[in-house]
A and B are shown apart, each in its own frame.
Chain A
Amino acid sequence: MVGFSVNVQKGVAMGIDKSLLPEKIFEQYSTDLYHCASCNYCVDAVWPDRNINHVCVTLQHHEKNPSYSGRGFIEAARFLAEGNELDLASLAKRVFTCTGCGNCDTVCPIGLRPSEVGKALREWLSEEGLAPKEVVASRSKILSDGRAYAGSSIYSDIKYTEYAETDCEINYFPGCSSNENLLKTVQSDLKLMDLLRVKFRYLDPHDNCCGAVLKELGEEKESAVWAQDLFKEDQQSSRRNSLVVSGYECCNHLSNTTNREPVSLPRWILSRLLSKDSSTKLELRTKHSVRVNLLETCQLKKESQINRSNPSDEFLFREFLEGFDIIVLNEHYPSQHALCCGASGSMKAMQPTSASVMATDKLPTEEDVISITLDPRCALHYCKSANSSNAVMSFSTFICEYFSISD
């Protein structure tokens, strides 16, 4: 195993010694470990012109301690790579408190990937049986229930038309977070598809997890198996309907683990609604001005978000709303640097109180402002954190409640 030792007296790296970091992590991330210039952007940067108002939500709302940041993960990995012993339980506590939002990767001025280093450490620590007990408990529950969100299934309350497979245009996968106490969200999704005359196959109506949440908890291999199992039927089908998925974490996970490139439900619906060829007519039901607070989704962080020629889902949504003179209060929505609401990663399992504060901190205090998110998992987390099922609406619920839709 290759590594570098540190002469503690001199404090310098001194040639090759035994690394305490797995070789595969060192090989994959040695550039990240050795090229970090300690600029501190990934710890805490404020740059309003780029809509960066702090970078790491864990540091903002949980503990102002850089060992919990992307830079902290890089420093710890390098320390181990140089053959120094470190309490791995302490390391596990820190890397599993990360939301995995990836802000530290997008803000790094020289393209390093501190968040990915953190994920690699999580996976390794899990394999070694060193994941914190909160994470293990959360993981065990998912493994035994078959889903990340173990609330009562609402499947039996959902009414939808079952079309013949050969007639279907899309395969629709709502994701397990949609189905936990978010009846309105799923019903709105289905209603919109119905209004748009979309014939769909409802994939896995039994709320099984696609594995995305397991992956966040460090179960990389098992999460891939779950994704492949869940979509076995879909993948084996000779018909290649578009796969439309509600949650962004699910989209990312399925894209990485299967041979499918899912389309997010918001993108799919908004593209239809905004299409010039669409015969669907929408009209705002209220004559009063509508003010909305759009909640960003950290898992939707792609270059396309700020690129108008290839607009992201969030940009499409903003465009849609502004087309109806709805007042969007967020000047910078969308941006590449969304602070996580606490739903993502293992933060919720490790630090539930901090995860709730991350969510409630983003909600407006004025009563007449409607908060909307594109991601059902975030919607669920916001509502739970605020102890109100109306704290945040999904995009589809908002459209269904505020618009009349006709042909």
Chain B
Amino acid sequence: MADKKNRSSLLSNWPDSPTFEDPIDLLPFQRDASVVEKGFPEAVIQPKSSSAVGEILRQANHDRVPVYVRGAGTMYAGGANPHAGGIVMDLSGMEQLLEIDLDRGIVVVEAGTKFVALLEALKPLGQTVGIVPLTGPTATIGGAVSSHALGTGSPRHQSMGDCVAGLEVVLVDGTVVRTGSAGCSGAGFFQRYCIGPDLTGLFIGAEATLGVITAVCLWLYPLPESRETLCLGFQDPLTASKYLSAVQSCELTRNMWYGGGYESGAINARVSAARPDLDVGSLPKFCVGIELGGKQDEINYDRARLIALGSDYGSKSFELFDEIYFQKLRLEETYWYSFAGYFTRSRCALLMCSLPSNKLPQFLNCLQSMREKYEQFVWGGALVICRRGLHGGVVTFYDEKNQWEEIMPAVSDAVKQFTNAGIVPYKSGKIWSKNSAHFKNYQHLLGMIKKGVDPRGILSPGNLGV
């Protein structure tokens, strides 16, 4: 870590980048939305351009001052928490829409642009982007790429990274580099590859450990003409998982705008809240909620096929759930908080993971065992249907005033249980990396890359365990 003299030389050089050092200004930058412990930044800088980011990084690298990068801080990964101190680089002021090129089918934005602001700009052009996280009104696009977000669009595109056509990244030595086709001067953005391996992918989900993403090029997609929801109820998660595998293998996700899986606890809680008179014992044990988007005739066709395929696995239409919850969630775009907040109004720990569809029963078994072992918390499972497999979220609501010391051991225990069940880390890097024995060689490679691009280790030290 840098000494005081170095820090002051670093902070005094940037007249165009607001800098905060007053301890009260640093408080909102100690942590993100995750359960990961807070860090203690020594200063916050808000650069307004990639060249300013480059100059700051060059100086920080010279002075060996750690740099953590932050968008809106809505991540559940702890990546923005400055555990090694140093400075937090807040990119929320870099929110220019740089380019829309309908011929190439791309949009380029600065990293601090908010999703919903971008969607609003694209709407008059009849365009949208592939993935929109459930924190859309506040989440920044740079943050979502850096943490590999998911959400609306996952059934068609899988994850945020799969929608990125190229990046502008500032390296630790201050070099500003464009990846993909834009890596070749004069070519501009249109595809994510240039010579050699996928260097765009190198920075996706890297939580600012390898470089600072300052601009993102996303592929454009037409806005759907129509949107409709559909909910199917299953009598057990095993048949639901087989159904999901069948849907994915025949590409029935192609017009799926969003897809979620709801376990019994989530179904019962939502139905009970809306219809206390109903006996929850008669409700399905698993629900697949689907939002279709596209041309009406395509939606009609896919809807009929999804229902027919579901009946092969014993599913029935679950209109009650659609009416009281899913339609509202999707068509009114109520975003994350109504999605999660039915449990309780509190802070939550969110452990994100990925699983093949046929591991759905194992995921739910792990969740159930956590419920039994840690009864003091409210546990929920959130499942997002992807083009292949599922993204899973283990949501643990806790009372930060009285349960702080108990929550992290419980989450760490969940990490072990899920990893043992063959469920793999996704996002939540700081939490998963504490249990890196399961991906030792993978971590070794990450470490080698880190050493190559950031030999002094100043970029987000501790994130991803590197």
Asked if A and B are interacting partners, one says yes
Interface centre among A8, A11, A43, A90 (most CB of B within 10 A): A11
Instruction: Point out the residues of chain A lying under 8 angstroms from B18, CB to CB.
Output: 63-65
A14-25 contact mask (Cβ, 8 Å, vs B): 1 or 0: 100000000000
Q: Are A34 and B137 in contact (CB under 8 A)?
A: no
Instruction: Point out the residues of chain A lying under 8 angstroms from B400, CB to CB.
Output: 13, 34-35
Q: Are B24 and A39 in contact (CB under 8 A)?
A: no
A56-97 contact mask (Cβ, 8 Å, vs B): 1 or 0: 000000011111010110011001000000110011001000
Q: Are B23 and A86 in contact (CB under 8 A)?
A: yes
Instruction: Point out the residues of chain A lying under 8 angstroms from B346, CB to CB.
Output: 35, 37, 110
Give the interface segment out of B248-256, B333-341, B446-454. Answer: B333-341
Q: Are A10 and B116 in contact (CB under 8 A)?
A: no
Give the interface segment out of A45-53, A159-167, A257-265. Answer: A45-53
Chain B: CB-nearest residue to A64: B93
Q: Which of B28, B72, B114 contacts A67 (CB 8 A)?
A: B28
Q: Are B33 and A64 in contact (CB under 8 A)?
A: no
Q: Are A37 and B137 in contact (CB under 8 A)?
A: no
Give the interface segment out of B35-43, B103-111, B181-189, B308-316. Answer: B35-43
Q: Are A86 and B24 in contact (CB under 8 A)?
A: yes
Instruction: Point out the residues of chain A lying under 8 angstroms from B74, CB to CB.
Output: 38-40
Q: Which of B138, B333, B401, B404 contacts A40 (CB 8 A)?
A: B138
Say whether, besides A67-B28, A110-B341, A44 and B405 are in contact (CB < 8 Å).
no
B92 at the interface (CB under 8 A from A): yes
Chain A: CB-nearest residue to B338: A109
A292 at the interface (CB under 8 A from B): no
Q: Are B37 and A44 in contact (CB under 8 A)?
A: no
- Measured CB to CB, the closest approach of chain B to A115, in angstroms, equals 16
Instruction: Point out the residues of chain B lying under 8 angstroms from A10, CB to CB.
Output: 37
- Given the complex of chains A and B, what is the CA–CA distance between A64 and B341 in angstroms? 29
Instruction: Point out the residues of chain A lying under 8 angstroms from B413, CB to CB.
Output: none
Within 8 A of A (CB), among B1-56: 18, 20, 22-25, 27-33, 37-40, 46
Chain A: CB-nearest residue to B27: A75
- Given the complex of chains A and B, what is the CA–CA distance between A87 and B22 in angstroms? 9
B65 at the interface (CB under 8 A from A): no
A183 at the interface (CB under 8 A from B): no
Instruction: Point out the residues of chain B lying under 8 angstroms from A364, CB to CB.
Output: none
- Given the complex of chains A and B, what is the CA–CA distance between A76 and B338 in angstroms? 27
- Given the complex of chains A and B, what is the CA–CA distance between A65 and B44 in angstroms? 10
Q: Are B341 and A109 in contact (CB under 8 A)?
A: yes
Instruction: Point out the residues of chain A lying under 8 angstroms from B345, CB to CB.
Output: 35, 110-111
Query: What band does the interface of chain A fall in when counting residues whose beta carbon is under 8 Å from B?
Result: 35 or more
Q: Which of B29, B116, B338, B341 contacts A48 (CB 8 A)?
A: B116
Instruction: Point out the residues of chain B lying under 8 angstroms from A52, CB to CB.
Output: 137
Q: Are B138 and A45 in contact (CB under 8 A)?
A: yes
A183-212 contact mask (Cβ, 8 Å, vs B): 1 or 0: 000000000000000000000000000000
Chain B: CB-nearest residue to A30: B401
- Given the complex of chains A and B, what is the CA–CA distance between A60 and B26 in angstroms? 19
- Measured CB to CB, the closest approach of chain A to B264, in angstroms, equals 25
B117 at the interface (CB under 8 A from A): yes
Q: Which of B333, B348, B401 contacts A37 (CB 8 A)?
A: B348
Say whether, besides A8-B40, A11-B37, A38-B33, A46 and B404 are in contact (CB < 8 Å).
no
| Number of B positions contacting A (CB below 8 A) | 47
Q: Are A11 and B333 in contact (CB under 8 A)?
A: no
- Given the complex of chains A and B, what is the CA–CA distance between A136 and B90 in angstroms? 34
A4 at the interface (CB under 8 A from B): yes
Q: Are B24 and A12 in contact (CB under 8 A)?
A: no
Instruction: Point out the residues of chain B lying under 8 angstroms from A94, CB to CB.
Output: 24
Instruction: Point out the residues of chain A lying under 8 angstroms from B27, CB to CB.
Output: 67, 72, 75-76, 79
Chain A: CB-nearest residue to B72: A40
A121-147 contact mask (Cβ, 8 Å, vs B): 1 or 0: 000000000000000000000000000
Q: Which of A8, A12, A34, A43 contacts B405 (CB 8 A)?
A: A12
- Identify whether the interface residues of B are mostly helix, strand, loop, or mixed: loop
Q: Are B28 and A66 in contact (CB under 8 A)?
A: yes
B371 at the interface (CB under 8 A from A): no
- Given the complex of chains A and B, what is the CA–CA distance between A8 and B40 in angstroms? 8
A36 at the interface (CB under 8 A from B): yes
- Given the complex of chains A and B, what is the CA–CA distance between A45 and B23 in angstroms? 25
B73 at the interface (CB under 8 A from A): yes
Within 8 A of B (CB), among A367-384: none
Q: Are A39 and B28 in contact (CB under 8 A)?
A: no
- Given the complex of chains A and B, what is the CA–CA distance between A47 and B405 in angstroms? 36
Q: Are B22 and A44 in contact (CB under 8 A)?
A: no
Instruction: Point out the residues of chain A lying under 8 angstroms from B31, CB to CB.
Output: 38
Instruction: Point out the residues of chain A lying under 8 angstroms from B328, CB to CB.
Output: none
Chain A: CB-nearest residue to B120: A48
- Given the complex of chains A and B, what is the CA–CA distance between A65 and B39 in angstroms? 18
Instruction: Point out the residues of chain B lying under 8 angstroms from A11, CB to CB.
Output: 30, 37-40, 83
A41 at the interface (CB under 8 A from B): yes
Q: Are A44 and B24 in contact (CB under 8 A)?
A: no
Chain B: CB-nearest residue to A6: B38
- Given the complex of chains A and B, what is the CA–CA distance between A43 and B337 in angstroms? 16
B99 at the interface (CB under 8 A from A): no
- Measured CB to CB, the closest approach of chain A to B1, in angstroms, equals 14
Instruction: Point out the residues of chain B lying under 8 angstroms from A90, CB to CB.
Output: 22-24
Say whether, besides A75-B27, A86-B23, A39 and B138 are in contact (CB < 8 Å).
yes
Interface centre among A8, A39, A44, A69 (most CB of B within 10 A): A39
Within 8 A of A (CB), among B64-94: 72-74, 83, 92-93
- Given the complex of chains A and B, what is the CA–CA distance between A110 and B25 in angstroms? 24
- Given the complex of chains A and B, what is the CA–CA distance between A30 and B120 in angstroms? 37
B89-130 contact mask (Cβ, 8 Å, vs A): 1 or 0: 000110000000000000000000010110010000000000
- Given the complex of chains A and B, what is the CA–CA distance between A90 and B20 in angstroms? 12
- Given the complex of chains A and B, what is the CA–CA distance between A44 and B364 in angstroms? 36
- Given the complex of chains A and B, what is the CA–CA distance between A75 and B138 in angstroms? 18
Q: Are B72 and A44 in contact (CB under 8 A)?
A: yes
Q: Are A91 and B24 in contact (CB under 8 A)?
A: yes
- Measured CB to CB, the closest approach of chain A to B336, in angstroms, equals 7
- Given the complex of chains A and B, what is the CA–CA distance between A46 and B137 in angstroms? 5
Instruction: Point out the residues of chain A lying under 8 angstroms from B37, CB to CB.
Output: 10-12
- Measured CB to CB, the closest approach of chain B to A300, in angstroms, equals 23
B198 at the interface (CB under 8 A from A): no
6 contacts between A and B (CB under 8 A): A35-B399, A35-B400, A37-B346, A37-B347, A46-B117, A46-B120
Contacts A14-B405, A45-B114, A67-B27 aside, 16 further interface pairs with beta carbons under 8 A come to A4-B401, A8-B40, A11-B83, A12-B37, A12-B405, A34-B399, A39-B336, A41-B137, A41-B138, A44-B72, A45-B116, A66-B29, A67-B28, A72-B27, A76-B27, A110-B337
List the 3 closest pairs (A to B, CB-CB), nearest first. A109-B337, A66-B28, A75-B27
B residues in contact (CB < 8 Å) with A: 18, 20, 22-25, 27-33, 37-40, 46, 72-74, 83, 92-93, 114, 116-117, 120, 135-138, 333, 335-338, 341, 345-348, 399-401, 404-405
